[in-house]
Amino acid sequence: MAQLSYVSGSVGLITLQNPPVNVLSAATRQGIMESMKKALNDPKVKSVVICGQNGVFCAGADIKEFGPNISGPSIVPLIYDIEVANKPVVAAIEGSALGGGLELALTCHYRIAHSKTRLGLPEVTLGLLPGAGGTQLLPRLIGIPASLELITTGRHITAAEALQLGLVDHVTQSDTVDSAVKFALSVEGEPLDSRRISKRPCPHLPDLDAVFEAVMQKARALQYSFFAQRAVGRWSMPSGASWNTSKARPVHRAAVLGLGTMGRGITVALAQAGVSVVAVEIQEKQLNEAREHVYATLERGAQQSGVSPSCANITYSHDIQAVADVDLVIEAVLEDLSLKEKVFQQLSAICKPGTLLCSNTSSLDLNCLASQTKNPELVVGMHFFAPAHVMKLLEVVYGSKSSPEAVATAMQLGKKMGKISVAVGNCRGFVGNRMLKPYIEQSYFLLEEGATPELVDKALEEFGFPMGVFRMSDLSGLDVGWRVRKEDGLAEPVGTSGQITRLRGGRRYSPLGDILCEHGRFGQKTGLGWYQYGRPGGRVAKSDPWVFNLLEEYRARLGLTARPIDQQEVLERCLYSLINEGLCILEEGFASSPEDIDVIYVFGYGWPKHRGGPMFYASMVGLATVLERLDHYYRSNPDVPSLKPCKLLRQLVASGSPPVHKWKEITKKIQNRL
């Protein structure tokens, strides 16, 4: 299970041989112990290299061995023997060095890693703490804050990050064992005391309490998020109807109408949930493409999960009459109000009595759709997020006439589909997209004032979003928002010369997004957006000098002077305006609790989970601080109403900034007065 061989005259090479990932089973530990002993006692051997066979260093302890009676040598004395060895020991790390595998590498005197290696202490994901010295050695090597982060998240890091942290001494692109052997030869006979990590003092930090407090805050945010996820299931409506007074109807057979990207994803998600689906698309070509796409997605999913695909549950039709006897319809046709109104009229005429009519609209007025039907109480929104079979979030939207039973049914169906469903009221953009609007608006204003897409995205990504606002907009397509702004009469042709008006409808408006679209830059799909992607459909964002020139010319045309903008301002303006909108939504009763908003943002919009969600984050930062900063920015930008602190924020601060779970007492009072 571990083999000693001799290379380059004086190097003892110990190879872990426990396929496939060289875990530290009893036999492997025994093998390492014996090989080390032999190498150290052999006068010919002047240095030792430890590696794993088949391109994997070691995936840690053998999880299958965990239990009350672990046999074989204990790992702790084994790694101690390596550290005290009087010959240099070099770890040649390839593939993975995880858990006990990384701890083994930490006891070596030097670490050489291949550039594709992943390293980490993932014990926390198994309910454990690193038990073979990791908690003691890592802080002495890379410092307390970085160690805390790695140990408490279990995150795997790349070799490049490990090098930057000082966790490995050298990263190679070529043969790792060769590099490690050469390195071992170069350090033979050198003193080893400074290389023994356990002998180093634990770093002293003047602000250690603050470091631990920050980690505790993350833990609190994760615990909050855990409970928030469950709390959203206990939904309520302004009428007082709620989850425990409303009974869901069974949905055995559902229809999906319109098989574009969203309709296909919804069909897959329903089929995977075991619901029989009637998939309707009037265009023959689109119908055939959808059939193939859905089939391939279900096949792939089945292969990954090891269950048989659920294709038998789906029937396809190009005739809308096929929905006549289903229990529930999800409409997913183009986002065009008059088209959707027509579809709802048809559905109301065709479907059997009692069929629930749902729309996947992301922003249109649900009441308009309901008013086209004989039974508006049977109409609700089911707003899925793309790709609909992957994304966890579902906004279930109730209109002014939706019955509690309809909401309960959509919520239960969402649960059956493995979604985290949140019941929300019918306002423009519902909860998620409504809050996104001021966030995006601020990012445009920041560009006008001197920022770049890179600067804004960097601040947001360092905060924890997987993508900053501009990279995210390029991914979802800039033309979508452009179409909506044109329909709203906001986006006017800008052209290359002439006057640009920044005040529209009495409030500041930035036409920067419209200008990009006028140039055919719709984001990744056209290969050009706020960044360049090399080709249509490209994924890797690169800075684009064209955008910098555009921003300079634009500022010159408007007589704006660029000023330095720091990350703090980016975060405050983008995040606090989004938070303010969330508080308005609570104040107006379109969300029933801060947990609803936070779950929507964490599961639908990439808000970092360890920051709880926008409402939780606001309470962590301090509501008084959020209020003070919004007041400050609103004073200097009075034509930007989204920066004006809402009434609820003022009231919460006046009530002593209670923790999130106590906000309901105040929001209820305001909502009752509505």
Ligand X SMILES: CCC/C=C/C(=O)SCCNC(=O)CCNC(=O)[C@H](O)C(C)(C)COP(=O)([O-])OP(=O)([O-])OC[C@H]1O[C@@H](n2cnc3c(N)ncnc32)[C@H](O)[C@@H]1OP(=O)([O-])[O-]
Which residues are catalytically annotated? Answer: 103, 123
Nearer to ligand X, 122 or 613 (CB): 122
Alpha-carbon gap, residue 599 to 403, rounded angstroms: 24
Q: What is the dihedral of CA 412, 418, 420, 421, to 10 degrees?
A: -30
Nearer to ligand X, 101 or 453 (CB): 101
Instruction: Give the Cβ contact number of residue 234 at 10 Å.
Output: 13
Amino acid of residue 30: Q
Alpha-carbon gap, residue 627 to 647, rounded angstroms: 10
Alpha-carbon gap, residue 420 to 106, rounded angstroms: 41
**Shortest reach from residue 13's CB to ligand X, in Å:** 22
Q: What are phi and psi of 120, to 5 degrees?
A: 175, 170
Token pair of 418 as six digits: 């493995």
Nearer to ligand X, 21 or 484 (CB): 21
SS3 for 13?
Answer: strand
Nearer to ligand X, 72 or 260 (CB): 72
Q: What are phi and psi of 594, to 5 degrees?
A: -60, -30
**Shortest reach from residue 33's CB to ligand X, in Å:** 15
Gyration radius from the chain CA atoms: 30
Q: What is the DSSP letter of 233?
A: T
**Shortest reach from residue 183's CB to ligand X, in Å:** 25
Alpha-carbon gap, residue 584 to 252, rounded angstroms: 38
Please answer whether residues 448 and 515 qualify as being in contact, where contact means their C-beta atoms are separated by less than 8 angstroms: no
**Shortest reach from residue 242's CB to ligand X, in Å:** 42
Nearer to ligand X, 155 or 220 (CB): 155
Read out DSSP for 538-602? ----B--HHHHHHHHHHHHHHTPPP----HHHHHHHHHHHHHHHHHHHHHHTSSS-HHHHHHHHH
Q: Which residues, including other chains, have CB under 8 Å from residue 320's CB and lie 6 or more apart?
A: 257, 280, 282, 346, 347, 350
**Shortest reach from residue 478's CB to ligand X, in Å:** 37
Nearer to ligand X, 60 or 414 (CB): 60
Nearer to ligand X, 131 or 606 (CB): 131
Q: Which residues, including other chains, have CB under 8 Å from residue 367's CB and lie 6 or more apart?
A: 376, 399, 400, 401, 426
Q: What is the DSSP letter of 236?
A: B
**Shortest reach from residue 105's CB to ligand X, in Å:** 12
Instruction: Give the Cβ contact number of residue 130 at 10 Å.
Output: 25
Give every strand in the sheet of 110-114, ordered side by side. Answer: 2-7, 11-16, 47-52, 89-93, 110-114, 170-172
Interacting residues toward ligand X by CB under 6 A: 20-21, 23, 59-64, 75, 96, 98-100, 122-123, 126, 131-132
**Shortest reach from residue 96's CB to ligand X, in Å:** 4
**Shortest reach from residue 58's CB to ligand X, in Å:** 9
State how far Cα 479 lies from the chain centre: 23
Nearer to ligand X, 70 or 467 (CB): 70
Classify the C-alpha dihedral 278-284-286-288 as positive or negative: positive
Alpha-carbon gap, residue 231 to 604, rounded angstroms: 17
**Shortest reach from residue 180's CB to ligand X, in Å:** 20
Token pair of 633 as six digits: 């920015």
Nearer to ligand X, 197 or 615 (CB): 197
Please answer whether residues 341 and 313 qualify as being in contact, where contact means their C-beta atoms are separated by less than 8 angstroms: no
SS3 for 358?
Answer: strand
Nearer to ligand X, 59 or 630 (CB): 59
